[in-house]
Amino acid sequence: MDTILYNEVSYQLEHLLLEIQSGRLGLPDIQRPFVWKNSKVRDLFDSMLRGYPIGYLLLWESSGNGTSKQIGEDAHSHSSPSHLIIDGQQRLTSLYAVIKGVSVIDKNFKQRRMKIAFHPLERRFEVSTAPIERSPEWISDISDVFKNITRAWGYKNNFIERLEDARVRNGKELSDEERELISSNIQSLLNLKDYKIPALSINASSDEDAVADIFVRVNSGGTNLTETDFILTLLSVVDDSLRNKIEEFCIDAIKPSSSGTSYNQLFAPQPQHIIRIAMAFGFKRARLRYAYMLLRGKDFETEEFSEDLQKDNFRILSTVLDKVLNLNNWHEFINCVLSAGYISNELILAENNLVYTYMMFLIGKYYYGITNKHVLRKCISRWYYMVAVSAYYSTSTETKVQADLNDLKAIEGEEGFLKFIDDRIESVFTNDYFSITLPNHMETSSPNSPAWKAYCAAHVLLDVKALFSNVLVKNLFGPGSSGSRSAVEKHHLFPKAYLSKIGFNTDRERNQIANFEYIEWSDNMEISDDAPSVYWPQMVSGLSEDDLGQIEQYHAIPRGWENMEYLEFLDKRRKLMAEIIRKGFDRLK
């Protein structure tokens, strides 16, 4: 048998809470902000009072020399936590926050106070409510009990006296048996401080792969830990200020604001996105496994870890994050994406496209000295259009990004970078791509097809109006667009009901993206379920040949389509839609 990587230990709850409060037990936030519902916290206390087990904690012995994050607003930190909590953070957060009466940070990054109430006569817990707070039968917040733990006898007597007074006012009495039961049950609540929680303590010598593997096996298929989790953990322990900067940036990105924050209409970045951008831009590492090793201070030549090297790399990371989180850089990048026709989050499919395009923006600006924002915007807009249309980063993402980073090492100067971008785009956007590959990708009914989103983005770039309308397509996706029925709808050129009549009975057949076009809802209602051969001549009657040609050209509608077989129409239209996407890209040139 190999060396055992863990020790089995047991903590009394009271000791565990002291370890957390002092900072000797670090909270790395591997499992994100507190997400349990109050009812689940209630059930946790109920299980403990009944003497049921509440599961193992998984701890990782730490040799860190930083400051750990703590639960609550007023917790103290210890300079060197002895252990990090890998599994059990939600349970410990629940116990600490309720017993100590402190707030937690919820999944929306807002302060939340959990109050659990206890009924001493019925020996049960409930989530505290306004009626419970007014009732003398309840202890509305059990943190009050634990705050009075050194004067438990007096606390119990005071509760009994208040309840007895309330009973008397209602013409009732508190029996001796009830007094004894109340006292006994409050003591049982207080005795939870002695509740024993088992833990597995993983040795400090274990690497992150072993820790992640143990985590999954202990949890019988629980969520796997990623390199991002370990990097964020490392930031929490070594330099918490860096993690705070990242999280504040991400929080601000989802808070509407007039100016001065990272808020935007396209993208709500998460900490893992910022980590990826920083490590790829600053350390030329797309594979986060190696990025994590760098931040631990590993020398890849000697295979040894150095505290000095770790400090150096953290200094580099701090400098890199200043650029990544710079609001001027961020909003200029967002403008690049908007300039590519992707003007709404409705058109954004893959977050990696944004993450690694921002990486390219930063590389172009700082490593190749492209200070002319118009030149850089044009370059990055074209790059984003290509990666969004082709789903460039959708498969083997880290491998593809690392290959680009490696190839960039041989590139020098602004012209070299711009040529690199052009060459990469041309290697994807070949004639065969637009005439064969892209039409084939359109053979889908998925509303989340990159090709459909690209078709919409091309309409934005080409200032195309919605079918039969004077409303520009780009106005349908602009900020504040409701997307409601009062605006514009996606229209089946071959109506669904009509297709059912002629034998196309599945949504996959009827909802092909080549059968869709944007149209004002009033026109959609007028068309109803009529065959194309019936409604199309009516809708275009009175149009000049030039106007009809414009509609057919920019809405990718083949001449005489209304009399075509459905499958023939789809085949022809896919090729025309691909040409519209090409025209959109040409506009960016």
Residues 313 and 399 in one domain: yes
Is 419 found in the same domain as 344? yes
Alpha carbons 371 and 375: distance in angstroms, whole number: 8
CA distance 126 to 129: 9
Nearby residues of 113 by Cβ (< 8 Å), 6 or more positions away:
97, 101, 102, 103, 104
pLDDT recorded at residue 105: 73
Q: How far apart are CA 143 and CA 123, in angstroms?
A: 16
Contact 306, 293 (CB under 8 A): no
Phi, psi of 83 (to 5 degrees): -145, 150
Q: Is residue 54 part of a domain?
A: yes
- Residue 423 sits in the same domain as residue 461: no
Last residue of a domain, one of 191, 225, 259: 225
Helix (H, G, I), strand (E, B) or coil at 251: helix
Residues 220, 234, single domain; the answer is no
Shared domain check, 467 and 394: no
* Judgement on whether residues 459 and 581 belong to the same structural domain of the protein: yes
Indicate whether 350 belongs to any domain.
Answer: yes
Do both 329 and 446 map to the same domain?
Answer: no
- C-alpha radius of gyration, the chain, whole number: 31
| Separation CA 589–CA 584 (nearest Å) | 9
In Å, what is the CA distance from 314 to each residue of 239, 269, 283, 366? Answer: 8, 22, 11, 19
Tell me the whole-structure pTM to 2 decimals.
Answer: 0.75
CA distance 135 to 123: 15
Are 463 and 472 in contact by the 8 Å Cβ rule? The answer is: yes
The pLDDT, as a whole number, for residue 421 is: 98
Tell me: do 365 and 501 sit in the same domain.
Answer: no
> From CA 152, how far away is CA 158, in angstroms rounded?
10
In a domain, 477, yes or no: yes
Which of 225, 250, 273 is the last residue before a domain boundary? 225
Looking at the fold, whether 163 and 200 belong to one and the same domain comes out as yes
**pLDDT in single tens digits along all 589 residues of the chain:** 567 788 888 999 999 988 888 877 866 544 456 678 899 999 999 999 999 999 888 888 865 444 444 444 444 444 456 777 878 888 988 999 999 998 887 766 667 889 999 999 999 999 999 999 999 999 999 999 999 888 888 899 999 999 999 999 988 889 999 999 999 999 999 999 999 999 988 887 777 667 767 766 666 555 566 778 778 777 876 787 898 899 889 988 988 876 789 999 899 999 999 999 999 999 999 998 888 888 888 888 888 888 899 999 999 999 999 999 999 999 999 999 999 999 999 999 999 999 999 999 999 999 999 999 999 999 999 999 999 999 999 989 999 999 999 999 999 999 999 999 999 999 999 999 999 999 999 999 998 999 999 999 999 999 999 888 888 888 877 544 444 443 456 789 999 999 999 999 999 999 999 999 987 655 545 567 889 999 999 888 988 999 999 999 999 999 999 999 999 999 999 999 999 999 999 999 8
Torsion of CA 118, 123, 127, 133, to 10 degrees: -40
* Contact indicator for 252, 262 with CB cutoff of 8 Å: yes
Same domain, 289 and 211: no
- Tell me whether residue 432 is in a domain: no
In a shared domain, residues 284 and 265? yes
Question: Does the residue 65 lie in any domain?
Answer: yes
- Decide: 450 and 388 in contact? Cβ < 8 Å: yes
Phi, psi of 61 (to 5 degrees): -60, 130
Query: Which is it for the CA torsion 84, 86, 90, 95, positive or negative?
Result: negative
Q: In this structure, what DSSP letter does residue 341 have?
A: T
> pLDDT value at position 70?
45
- Asked whether residue 188 is assigned to any structural domain, the reply reads yes
Looking at 371, 396, 427, the residue that finishes a domain is: 427
Residues 465 and 420 in one domain: no
Q: Is residue 123 part of a domain?
A: yes
Residue 299 lies in a domain: yes
* Total domains, the chain: 3
In one-letter notation, the amino acid at residue 582 is R
User: Which domain does 357 fall in, by range?
Assistant: 227-427
Alpha-helical runs (H) found in 368-412: 373-390, 397-408
